[in-house]
């Protein structure tokens, strides 16, 4: 979840890499520390939109942190002057209208776990789900041991 207020919520899928490199998809972002990395699919909403999360060396007045020192890349920022330690680029995002996410949370359709900065830059996105569940502990640690395809048991 990157933003949530009375008007709705916005988030990014952190575990869905594409097969396209950032520098090939968005040449202007090739100077970011992730220019040679894979572009991630952030969600089904506006797949043509580019969303960039960066971990900044120093806090900036023009951006609000999402988790730790990770924030959206400021609009119009020059990638080479940004001072980003790390960056990850997403195509599209996930979005919920007013009250929609709250209704899903009441079902309960979600496992809510506090984010950590390392989650954004998971080296192995296929294992991120398991890593987060193991970190939560208890019954979630057991869920983390389940195979991706339970029919293979």
Check which CATH number belongs to the domain holding 65 and give it. 3.40.1740.10
Q: CA separation (Å) from 76 to 24, 29, 79, 115, 116?
A: 19, 11, 9, 27, 27
Confidence of residue 80 (pLDDT cuts 50, 70, 90): low
Helix (H) or strand (E) holding 92, with range, is: strand 84-96
The sign of the dihedral angle between the CA atoms of 109, 115, 120, 126 is negative
Domain that holds residue 87: 3-147
Mean pLDDT is lowest, of 16-30, 70-84, 121-135, for 70-84
Span 138-150, pLDDT tens digits: 888 888 888 777 6
Confidence of residue 79 (pLDDT cuts 50, 70, 90): low
**Residue 25 within a domain:** yes
Number of domains in the chain: 1
* CB neighbour list of residue 105: distance below 8 Å, 6 or more residues apart: 112
pLDDT at 140: 81
Helical H runs in 16-149? Answer: 22-25, 100-106, 117-120, 128-136, 139-144
Which burial class, exposed, middle or buried, applies to 76 when counting CB atoms under 10 A from its CB (0-12, 13-18, 19+)?
Answer: exposed
**Residue 8 within a domain:** yes
**Residue 153 within a domain:** no
**Residue 152 within a domain:** no
Q: Name the phi and psi angles at 122, rounded to 5.
A: -50, 125
The answer to whether the bond into 108 is cis (omega within 30° of 0) is yes
Read off the pLDDT of each residue in 113-142 and give the average, rounded to a whole number. 90
**Residue 42 within a domain:** yes
């Amino acid at each position: 979840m990157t933003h949530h207020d009375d008007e709705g919520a916005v988030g990014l899928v952190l575990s869905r890499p594409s097969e396209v490199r950032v520098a090939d998809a968005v040449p202007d972002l090739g100077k970011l520390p992730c220019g040679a990395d894979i572009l991630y699919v952030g969600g089904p909403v506006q797949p043509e939109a580019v969303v960039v999360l960066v971990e900044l060396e120093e806090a900036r007045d023009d951006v609000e942190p999402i988790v730790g020192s990770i924030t959206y890349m400021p609009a119009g920022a020059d990638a080479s002057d940004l001072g980003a330690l790390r960056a990850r680029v997403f195509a599209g995002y996930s979005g919920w209208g007013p009250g929609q996410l709250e209704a899903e949370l009441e079902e309960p359709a979600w496992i809510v776990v506090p984010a950590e900065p390392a989650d954004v830059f998971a080296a192995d996105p296929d294992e991120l789900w398991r890593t987060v569940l193991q970190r939560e502990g208890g019954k979630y640690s057991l869920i983390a041991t389940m195979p991706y395809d339970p029919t293979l048991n």
